[in-house]
C-alpha cells in the first residue's frame, strides 16, 4: 500500500549491500521512486527498474552527497564501513556527520537508519557502540531520524547467517566459546525490509529509536541447532569458557574463509545480548515478524527456488557469484561446429541402453554400489530412446526440467549424502553452438563434502570425457546428415 507520500523521492545509500538490495526490490515492487547512491554503480546492473536512478558517489564525498540529496524527501542510510582498510569507527563517524549535514542542507524530511541492538554501557563492544554513535550523529543534523535497531538478520548473504551456516554444515562436533549462549532476537530479512518500508511512511514527529526483532529469543547455539534440524544434520556442541575474541575469530576464520575477513571486531560483539527491550516500536510499524524457524525455512526455500530457476551455465561463466555457498559444481563448456538443435539431439540420446558416452563401466559400477546400499541402481531404462520428457526416469536420474532443443536438467535419485543435479544446455545458432555441462551437488554436512571431494578426480575424468564424446557424436550425426546419397 503506497501512502500519500508514495511519489516522493527516496535516496538509498547502501543499495549494493545485503539489506540494500532486498529493500530496493521491495521499493521498486511498490512503485516507489528511488535514487541509489553507489560507489560502484555497475554492482546494481540488472537490479534497477524504471522508477530507479543510480548516481555515482560516496558518503565520504561531500560533493556527491550534495547532488544526490537534491529533491529527496526520505534518505535511507544502510552504510557500514567494516570492510574498509581504515579504522571503521572514524570512517563511520565522518560518514554520518557528512550524510546528516548534506540531508539538512537539502531539506530532507527524514533519515531512516538501520543500526544494531544492544544496551548502552561500559561492556558494549566497539562495533555496537559505533552503530549507536552513528544514529546519534545523524540526529545531531536536526533532520528527523528513525533509527531501527536489529539483532541477527536471517537471510542468505547476512554475515551472521552465513557464519551459522558454515559452522553447522562443516563441523559435526563443535568446540564453542561462551558467546554461543548469548541471547539474541533474530529477525528474518523479509520482516526487516517491511520494517524499513514502514519507517519511511510513519507520521512526522520527533526522532525516535525503534527496536525490532522476531518473535523468538534465541542464542547462537539454539539457532545453529534449528538450522541443523531443518537441514537434517546431527550436530554436537561442546561449550568451553576459554576462547577469547581473538582465538574465537581465528577459529571461525579457519572453519570458513567467508568469516575470516570480519575478524576480531565483529566477533567481540557476539558477547553482547541483542534482544528487544521495548516492543512498542514494532506496533507502531504494524509489522508482525515471524519466528526463527519460519525465517530459516523461508531462507532455505528461497535459495532453492532462486538457484534451481537459474541457468547454471551462466552461473558457471560468472563464477556462480550469486549461488549459495552450500552448492558445489563441476562446470564445463565445449564449442562444436554443428547447429544447436543437432547438438541437443546427441544429449537426448544419453542413458539407458545408449549408455553415458564415456567410461560406461564406471556408471555401471556406481549403479552397483547404489543398489548395494539400498538405492535404485542403474536401471538401464528409458521410455523413448530418442527423446526425453519431463518426469521420465533415465537410469538413476529423473528429468526435472526440459526445454526441447535447448536445455535439460536431471535430478539424482541414487543414494548420495546430499542432493545432485546434472544439467546440459546448448546455446548457439544454425552453424555452431556451445554445449554447457554442469554437475551441481548440495552436500549434507561433512560427509557430503567428503563425498564430493573424494570423487573429484573421477568427476574430472568422466565429465570431461562425456562432454567430448557428446560433441563428437553431434559432429558425426551432422556429417552423416549431409553426406552424398543420404536423405
Alpha carbon distance 260, 255 (integer Å): 9
Statement to judge: residues 327 and 377 lie in one domain: yes
pLDDT of residue 343: 93
Residues 231 and 356 in one domain: no
* The pLDDT of residue 25 is above 70: yes
Residue 486: inside a domain, yes or no? no
The answer to whether residue 320 is domain-embedded is yes
Give helix 456-482 / helix 445-454 axis angle, nearest 10°: 50
In the numeric block, which cell numbers belong to residue 212? 525490532
361 and 448 housed in the same domain: yes
CA gap 80, 69 in Å, rounded: 19
Task: Answer whether 186's CB lies under 8 Å from 293's CB.
Answer: no
The pLDDT value given to residue 288 = 92
pTM of the entire predicted model: 0.76
Cα→Cα distances 405→83, 105, 348, 476, Å: 46, 60, 9, 18
Query: Using CA atoms, how far apart are residues 129 and 487, in angstroms rounded to an integer?
Result: 79
Say what percent of the chain tops pLDDT 70: 86
Taking residues 10-25, report their average pLDDT: 93
Domain boundary among the residues 304, 334, 358 is at: 304
- Total domains in the fold of the chain: 2
348 and 248 housed in the same domain: no
88-106 vs 126-140: helix crossing angle, rounded to 10: 20
Indicate whether 319 pLDDT > 70. no
Do residues 25 and 142 share a domain? yes
Shared domain check, 235 and 88: yes
Same domain membership, residue 291 and residue 337: no
**For residue 388, is pLDDT > 70?**
yes
Instruction: With beta carbons less than 8 A apart as the criterion, state whether 467 and 335 touch.
Output: no
- In this structure, the answer to whether residues 98 and 58 fall within a common structural domain is yes
Question: Rounded to an integer, what distance in angstroms lies between the CA atom of residue 132 and that of residue 95?
Answer: 14
Q: Measured between alpha carbons, how far is 58 from 97 in angstroms, rounded to an integer? A: 13
| SS percent in the chain: helix, strand, coil, step 5 | 45, 20, 35
- E strands, 295-417, are 328-336, 393-394, 397-403, 407-412
Same domain for 389 and 298: no
Contact assessment for residue 446 and residue 172, using Cβ atoms and an 8 Å cutoff: yes
Q: What mean pLDDT, rounded, does the chain reach?
A: 85
Q: Cα separation of 340 and 66, whole Å?
A: 53
Domain boundary residue, one of 304, 336, 352: 304
Q: Which domain holds residue 103?
A: 9-304
Q: Which three cell numbers stand for residue 419?
A: 542432493
b/e sequence 367-392, b meaning 16+ C-beta within 10 Å: beebbeeebbbbbeebeeeeebeeeb
Give the pLDDT of residue 19. 94
The pLDDT assigned to 134 comes to 95
pLDDT in the model for residue 255: 60
Q: Please check the confidence at residue 321 and state whether its pLDDT lies above 60.
A: no
* 192 vs 461: CA distance, rounded Å: 47
The SS3 of residue 428 is strand
Note whether 212 and 281 are within 8 A (CB): yes
Domain presence at residue 15: yes
Q: 320 falls in which pLDDT band (50, 70, 90)?
A: very low
pLDDT confidence bin for 253, thresholds 50/70/90: low
Domain at 258, CATH number: 3.40.50.720
User: What integer is the mean pLDDT of 451-462?
Assistant: 92
Find the CATH number of the domain harbouring 321: 3.30.530.20
Q: Answer with the residue of higher pLDDT: 478 or 112.
A: 112
For residues 135 and 222, state if they share a domain.
yes
Rounded-to-integer distance, Cα 459 and Cα 329, Å: 10
Quick check: is 175 in a domain? yes
* The domain boundary residue, chosen from 275, 304, 333: 304
| Phi, psi dihedrals of residue 375, rounded to the nearest 5° | -85, -175
Across 180-184, 195-199, 306-310, least confident range: 306-310
Residue 441 covered by a domain: yes
**Residue at 384 is within a domain:** yes
Q: Residue 317's pLDDT band (boundaries 50, 70, 90)?
A: very low
Residue showing cell 548440495:
442
Amino acid at each position: 500500500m503506497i501512502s500519500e507520500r508514495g511519489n516522493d523521492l527516496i535516496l538509498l545509500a547502501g543499495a549494493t549491500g545485503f539489506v540494500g538490495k532486498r529493500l530496493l526490490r521491495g521499493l521498486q515492487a511498490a512503485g516507489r521512486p528511488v535514487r541509489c547512491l553507489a560507489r560502484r554503480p555497475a554492482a546494481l546492473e540488472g537490479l534497477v527498474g524504471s522508477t530507479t536512478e543510480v548516481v555515482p558517489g560516496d558518503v565520504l564525498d561531500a560533493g556527491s552527497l550534495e547532488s544526490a540529496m537534491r529533491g529527496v524527501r526520505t534518505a535511507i542510510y544502510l552504510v557500514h564501513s567494516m570492510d574498509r582498510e581504515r579504522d571503521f569507527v572514524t570512517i563511520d563517524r565522518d560518514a554520518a556527520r557528512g550524510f546528516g549535514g548534506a540531508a539538512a542542507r537539502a531539506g530532507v524530511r527524514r533519515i531512516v537508519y538501520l543500526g544494531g541492538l544492544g544496551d548502552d554501557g561500559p561492556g558494549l563492544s566497539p562495533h555496537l557502540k559505533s552503530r549507536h554513535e552513528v544514529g546519534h550523529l545523524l540526529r545531531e543534523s536536526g533532520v528527523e531520524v528513525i533509527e531501527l535497531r536489529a539483532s541477527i538478520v536471517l537471510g542468505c548473504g547476512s554475515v551472521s547467517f552465513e557464519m551459522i551456516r558454515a559452522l553447522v554444515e562443516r563441523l559435526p562436533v563443535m568446540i564453542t566459546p561462551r558467546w554461543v549462549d548469548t541471547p539474541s532476537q533474530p529477525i528474518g530479512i523479509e520482516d526487516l525490509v517491511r520494517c524499513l518500508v514502514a519507517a519511511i511512511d510513519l507520521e512526522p514527529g520527533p526522532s525516535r529509536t525503534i527496536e525490532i526483532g522476531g518473535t523468538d529469543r534465541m542464542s547462537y547455539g539454539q539457532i545453529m541447532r534449528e538450522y541443523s534440524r531443518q537441514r537434517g544434520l546431527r550436530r554436537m556442541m561442546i561449550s568451553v569458557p576459554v576462547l577469547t575474541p581473538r582465538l574465537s575469530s581465528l577459529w571461525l576464520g579457519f572453519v570458513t574463509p567467508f568469516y575470516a575477513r570480519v575478524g576480531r571486531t565483529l566477533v567481540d560483539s557476539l558477547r553482547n545480548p541483542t534482544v528487544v527491550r521495548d516492543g512498542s516500536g514494532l506496533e507502531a510499524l504494524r509489522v508482525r515478524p515471524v519466528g526463527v524457524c519460519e525465517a530459516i525455512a523461508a531462507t532455505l526455500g528461497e535459495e532453492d527456488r532462486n538457484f534451481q530457476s537459474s541457468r547454471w551455465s551462466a552461473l558457471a561463466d560468472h563464477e556462480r557469484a550469486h549461488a549459495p555457498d552450500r552448492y558445489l559444481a563441476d562446470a564445463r563448456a565445449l564449442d562444436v561446429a554443428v547447429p544447436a538443435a543437432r547438438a541437443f539431439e546427441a544429449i537426448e540420446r544419453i542413458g539407458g541402453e545408449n549408455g553415458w558416452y564415456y567410461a560406461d563401466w564406471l556408471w555401471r559400477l556406481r549403479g552397483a554400489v547404489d543398489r548395494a546400499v539400498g538405492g535404485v541402481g542403474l536401471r538401464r531404462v528409458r521410455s523413448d530412446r530418442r527423446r526425453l520428457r519431463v518426469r521420465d526416469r533415465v537410469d538413476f536420474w529423473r528429468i526435472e526440467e526440459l526445454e526441447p532443443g535447448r536445455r535439460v536438467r536431471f535430478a539424482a535419485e541414487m543414494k548420495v549424502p546430499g542432493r545432485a543435479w546434472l544439467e546440459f544446455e546448448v546455446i548457439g545458432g544454425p552453424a555452431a553452438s556451445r554445449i554447457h555441462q554442469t554437475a551441481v551437488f548440495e552436500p549434507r554436512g561433512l560427509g557430503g563434502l567428503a563425498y564430493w571431494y573424494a570423487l573429484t578426480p573421477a568427476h574430472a575424468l568422466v565429465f570431461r570425457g562425456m562432454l567430448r564424446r557428446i560433441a563428437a557424436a553431434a559432429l558425426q550425426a551432422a556429417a552423416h546428415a549431409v553426406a552424398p546419397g543420404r536423405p
